[in-house]
């Protein structure tokens, strides 16, 4: 079994003392994720002022940069589609994203990603872990890391929820060395986990009384022991109870017809609308996965279909986050494991291409309407500076108020950088 302790600032002793203080003093489950006091005391104040949140959209299988963020119309590998103007003067993206085009003043593009992994099995996890240097430990996924840094916030809801097609569950593997409780609670098809309703035979009073007993037992038991497992277990109950209190978040009858029309009733539309509800409720990190982007055959027809499914709900959530003032504190990220080959295959597909691809991010903590880096006229190579996923992680962490230059993880006493130390933030995107 592994034992996981808290992430520390540059001053280990101080941080550790603070951490222990928090755990011993509070004792109850809420304090086990009371991280704001444990990490980088200097920023704690800023972070308290506004709960930071993240919307992370994972396009699994790899979206083609040429049919989206970095079109090369009417060139050797450009494909059939046009590029269209956007809300940012001079910036053009693929015609397959007409609604997103009107949101580009709230978003930025990175067009010079050069990563190393070229197949799914080796790319999906390392990309979401920021591809740190190998130190014999498993790094957390972005969502687990952010859950660790920011905690559940005032909502007390689980900080890392993952809306995905198919089945739900608990994806503790996402957490890596941070330990299971920072894993993702996966909501299969956006639906809540089972067992969300308490049997009628148990009254509120009885429920409170039995849980108070349970917590007392745990407090007694944890004294003098390694407490990580005990706290994680307790935390799983408090998360469960918080989720049960917010069953309304999953109630389809609370959706307006207008929202359903704007987001669409297709899978990704429903999932992104669910994501908005969770973000509104204060969930720290909401990941939404959309599959089936691996278009080795018939790339253009399939991308036309997939991007249409992505475009409208994505534009809708950007509008909604902006209208609600939430973009002030919500960072939005759209990412795949790599891009797709410029060269059009004999199956009219595009294959895997980590050499020169793009991503989109924006919202809180990031420049908006910016374009970082460029590829050559045919989209085959990057011209000028290149960024790896490590740079992206540095940038995201900075955007949510964590500076990897000043903070590190403490894995059982082993200090570990938050992000690949060969990389730094993408300066053009920092605000």
Partner 1 sequence: MPMRRVFPTICVLLAATGAIAAEPLLHRQIDRAVAKRAGGPLAGPASDAEFMRRVYLDLSGTIPTSAEARSFLADKNSAKRQKLVDRLLAGPNYARRMQEALSVMLLERRVGKNVSAKSWEKYLRNSFAKNKPWDRLAGEILSGEGRSEPSQPAIKFFVVGGRTDQHQMTRDVARLFLGMDVQCAQCHDHPSIDEYTQADYFGLLAYLTSSKVKKNPKTQLAYFVETPLAGPLDFASVFSPEDKRKTGPRLPGKKEIAVPTFEKGKEIDQPAKDGVPAVPKFRPRTLLSEQLTSAGNERFKRNSVNRFWYLMMGRGLVHPLDLMHKGNPPSHPKLLGQLADRFAKQKFDVKWLLREMALSETYQRSGLLPKGVRAEDAPAERYQAAIAKPLSAEQLTWSLLQATGNLDALMKAAEVKDSKFTFKDYINGRIPLPADIAETMLLMTSVFGNPPGEAEVDFAPAVGHSLYLLNEPLLQSWLKPKGGNLVDRLGKLKEPAKVAEELYLSVLTRLPNDEENTEVAEYLKRFEKRRSEAIGELAWALLASAEFRLNH
Partner 2 sequence: MAAVKQKPTPSETHLSRSLKHEAQLTCCRFSPCGKFVVAGSYDGSLLRWDLSEKDAKKDSKTVSTGHHGWLETLAFHPDKKRLYTADSWGKLCCWDYTEAKPKLLWSNDAAHDGWIRTLAVSPDGKLLATAGNDQIVRIWPAGGGKPLREMTGHERHVYSLAFAPDGKALVSGDLVGRVLHWNTSDGKLVRELDAKPLANRVKIVDGGGVRNLAFSGDGRHLACSGITDFGTSVVKGFPGVVLLDWKSGKQTRLLRPKDYETEYKTKGVFVEGLRFHRDGFLIGAGGNGEREGALWFWDPKKVDPTFQINPLPGSRDLDIHPDGTRLALVHFTANGRGKNGGNGRKSTPEEYRCHHGIVALYEMSPKPKAPAGG
Q: Which is nearer to partner 1, 213 or 431 (CB)?
A: 213
**Which of partner 1, partner 2, none does 295 bind, CB closer than 5 to 8 A by kind?**
partner 2
Could you say whether residue 258 binds partner 1 (CB under 8 A)?
Answer: no
> Exactly one of 234, 320, 351, 355 binds partner 1 (CB under 8 A); which one?
234
Task: Say which entry of partner 1, partner 2, none residue 20 contacts (CB below 5 to 8 A, set by partner kind).
Answer: partner 1
Among 69, 182, 235, 387, binds partner 1 (CB under 8 A): 235
Among 244, 304, 348, 416, binds partner 1 (CB under 8 A): 244
Which partner from the list partner 1, partner 2, none does 158 bind, CB cut-off 5 to 8 Å by kind? partner 1
Check binding of 85 to partner 2 (CB under 8 A).
no
Choices 100-108, 303-311, 314-322, 382-390; region in contact with partner 2 by CB under 8 A:
303-311
Figure out which of the listed residues 202, 297, 324, 430 binds partner 2, where binding follows CB under 8 A.
297
What, of partner 1, partner 2, none, does residue 353 touch, CB below 5 to 8 Å by kind? Answer: partner 2
Shortest distance in whole angstroms from residue 77 CB to partner 2:
6
Closest CB 69 distance from partner 2, rounded Å: 18
Tokens of 100: 């997103």
Under the binding rule (CB under 8 A), the answer on residue 240 touching partner 1 is yes
* Interface with partner 1, residue 221, by CB under 8 A: yes
Q: Does residue 25 touch partner 1 according to CB under 8 A?
A: no
Residue 165 interaction partner, one of partner 1, partner 2, none, beta carbon < 5-8 Å per kind: partner 2
Q: Which residues contact 81 (CB under 8 A, 6 or more apart)?
A: 67, 71, 73, 94, 95, 96, 300, 304
Residue 5 binds partner 1 (CB under 8 A):
yes
Tell me the window of 1-9, 280-288, 301-309, 374-382 that interacts with partner 1 (CB under 8 A): 1-9
Bridge partners (DSSP) of residue 359 are 110
Task: Kindly identify the residues of this chain, within the stretch 335-394, that bind partner 2 according to CB under 8 A.
Answer: 341-355, 380-381
Structure tokens at 405: 């230059």
Q: Which residue has the tokens 């230059």?
A: 405
Q: Which position has the token pair 């089945």?
A: 167
Minimum distance from residue 262 beta carbon to partner 1 (Å): 30
Q: Which does 21 bind (CB under 5 to 8 A by kind): partner 1, partner 2, none?
A: none
Q: Report the 10 Å Cβ neighbour count for 257.
A: 7
* 189 is a contact residue toward partner 2 (CB under 8 A): no
Structure-token pair, residue 57: 């959209």
Distance (Å, rounded) from C-alpha 216 to C-alpha 197?
24
CA 70, 71, 77, 80 torsion-angle sign:
positive
Instruction: Please report, as ranges, the residues that interact with partner 2 according to CB under 8 A.
Output: 61, 73-74, 76-82, 95, 118, 165, 266-268, 290-292, 294-298, 301-302, 304-306, 309, 341-355, 380-381
Instruction: Please report, as ranges, the residues that interact with partner 1 according to CB under 8 A.
Output: 1-3, 5, 16, 20, 119, 121-122, 134, 136, 158, 167-170, 172-173, 180-181, 183, 185, 193-199, 201-202, 206-207, 209-211, 213-214, 216-218, 220-222, 224-230, 232-237, 239-241, 243-244, 412-413
């Amino acid at each position: 079994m592994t034992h996981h302790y808290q992430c520390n600032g540059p001053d280990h002793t101080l941080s550790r003392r603070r951490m222990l203080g928090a755990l011993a003093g509070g004792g109850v489950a809420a304090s086990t994720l009371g991280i704001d006091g444990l990490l980088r005391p200097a920023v704690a104040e800023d972070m308290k002022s506004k709960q930071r949140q993240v919307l992370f959209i994972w396009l699994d299988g790899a979206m083609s940069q040429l049919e989206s963020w970095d079109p090369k119309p009417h060139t050797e590998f450009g494909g059939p589609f046009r590029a269209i103007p956007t809300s940012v003067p001079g910036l053009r993206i693929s015609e397959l994203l007409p609604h997103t085009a009107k949101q580009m003043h709230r978003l930025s593009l990175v067009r010079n990603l050069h990563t190393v992994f070229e197949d799914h099995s080796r790319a999906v996890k390392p990309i979401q872990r920021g591809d740190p240097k190998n130190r014999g430990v498993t790094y957390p996924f972005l969502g687990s890391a952010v859950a660790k840094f920011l905690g559940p916030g005032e909502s007390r809801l689980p900080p890392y929820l993952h809306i995905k097609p198919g089945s739900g569950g608990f994806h503790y593997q996402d957490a890596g060395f941070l330990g299971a409780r920072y894993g993702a609670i996966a909501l299969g098809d956006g639906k809540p986990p089972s067992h969300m309703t308490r049997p009628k035979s148990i009254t509120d009073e009885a429920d409170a009384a039995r849980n108070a007993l349970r917590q007392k037992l745990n407090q007694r038991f944890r004294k003098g022991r390694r407490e990580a497992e005990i706290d994680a277990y307790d935390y799983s109950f408090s998360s469960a109870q918080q989720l049960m209190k917010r069953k309304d978040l999953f109630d389809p009858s609370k959706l307006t017809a207008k929202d359903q029309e704007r987001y669409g009733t297709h899978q990704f539309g429903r999932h992104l609308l669910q994501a908005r509800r969770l973000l509104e409720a204060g969930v720290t990190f909401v990941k939404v996965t959309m599959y089936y982007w691996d278009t080795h055959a018939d790339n253009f027809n399939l991308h036309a279909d997939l991007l249409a499914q992505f475009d409208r709900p994505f534009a809708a959530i950007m509008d909604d986050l902006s209208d609600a003032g939430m973009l002030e504190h919500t960072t939005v990220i759209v990412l795949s494991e790599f891009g797709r080959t410029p060269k059009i295959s004999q199956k009219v597909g595009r294959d895997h291409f980590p050499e020169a691809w793009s991503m989109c991010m924006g919202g809180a903590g990031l420049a908006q309407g910016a374009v970082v880096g460029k590829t050559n006229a045919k989209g085959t190579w990057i011209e000028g500076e290149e960024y790896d996923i490590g740079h992206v992680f540095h940038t995201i962490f900075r955007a949510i108020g964590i500076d990897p230059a000043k903070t590190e993880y403490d894995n059982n006493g082993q200090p570990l950088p938050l992000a690949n130390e060969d990389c730094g933030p993408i300066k053009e995107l920092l605000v």
